[in-house]
């Protein structure tokens, strides 16, 4: 079991330090910014953010300032400290874990697709295809917005590189889904009616 001192010293804490390089923020601000920026490849819940902020503050990596306004709840705003910036730079220099093994419910269900009619797997693929076609639209819009609003920001090339990854991944996903749907159509034509498979005989 991890000690209280180290249990929050993981990727979430480091991600929050990175976000604070963009400016002072509350936990709510960070969660909102994640949705608008790194959310296409990294996400954090409030249940991860607030305990990590508490730990970062206790270790001196961030400073907390409470803003009080009449008629409104108190708002805790966090600022990156020199120690926090140093920690972030040290973490950025550590090689990332490669390869990262993804978990995909779609692929898991497709792997066992023999046990359901092809139309079931096709429906799953159609939803997956729609998601990534919509994602490509969002990436195009976001890139145009960044180019328009953040021109001259030295961080822009790095932001665009991560955006490009998302776009390439969605393009590949669209192509794969279309090919897989054609493959399912061919299977249905060639196999015709089939009995329900309940298990393989030894």
Helices marked H in the chain: 11-20, 27-36, 46-58, 82-93, 105-111, 118-149, 156-191
Residue 199 pLDDT more than 80?
A: no
pLDDT tens column, 88-102: 999 999 998 877 777
Phi, psi for 61 (deg, rounded to 5): -85, -20
75 torsion bin: left (phi>0), alpha (psi -120 to 50), beta (else)? beta
pLDDT tens column, 133-154: 999 999 999 999 999 999 999 9
Is residue 201 domain-resident? no
Who has greater pLDDT, 68 or 110? Answer: 110
Determine the angle formed by the axes of helices 11-20 and 46-58, rounding to 10 degrees.
80
* Interval 171-198 mean pLDDT: 83
- Give me the CATH number covering residue 70: 1.10.10.10
Phi, psi for 71 (deg, rounded to 5): 80, 5
Q: Does 168 lie in the same domain as 116?
A: yes
Q: Does 20 lie in the same domain as 54?
A: yes
Q: Does 180 lie in the same domain as 145?
A: yes
Q: Does 171 lie in the same domain as 109?
A: yes
**pTM exceeds 0.85, yes or no:** no
Q: Domain containing 52: what range?
A: 11-93
* Interval 172-197 mean pLDDT: 84
């Amino acid at each position: 079991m991890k000690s209280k001192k180290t249990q929050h010293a993981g990727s979430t804490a480091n991600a929050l330090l990175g976000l604070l390089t963009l400016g002072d923020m509350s936990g709510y601000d960070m969660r909102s910014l994640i949705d608008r920026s790194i959310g296409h490849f990294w996400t954090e819940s409030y249940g991860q953010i607030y305990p990590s902020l508490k730990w970062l503050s206790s270790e001196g990596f961030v400073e907390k300032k409470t803003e009080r306004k009449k008629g409104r709840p108190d708002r805790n705003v966090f600022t990156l400290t020199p120690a926090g910036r140093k920690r972030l730079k040290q973490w950025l220099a550590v090689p990332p874990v490669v390869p990262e093994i993804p978990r995909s419910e779609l692929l898991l269900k497709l792997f066992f697709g023999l046990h359901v009619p092809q139309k079931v797997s096709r429906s799953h693929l159609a939803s997956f295809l729609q998601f990534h076609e919509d994602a490509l639209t969002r990436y195009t819009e976001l890139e145009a917005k960044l180019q328009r609003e953040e021109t001259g920001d030295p961080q822009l090339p790095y932001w665009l590189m991560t955006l490009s990854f998302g776009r390439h991944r969605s393009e590949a996903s669209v192509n794969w889904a279309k090919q897989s749907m054609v493959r399912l159509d061919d299977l249905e034509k060639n196999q015709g009616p089939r009995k329900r498979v309940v298990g393989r005989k030894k």
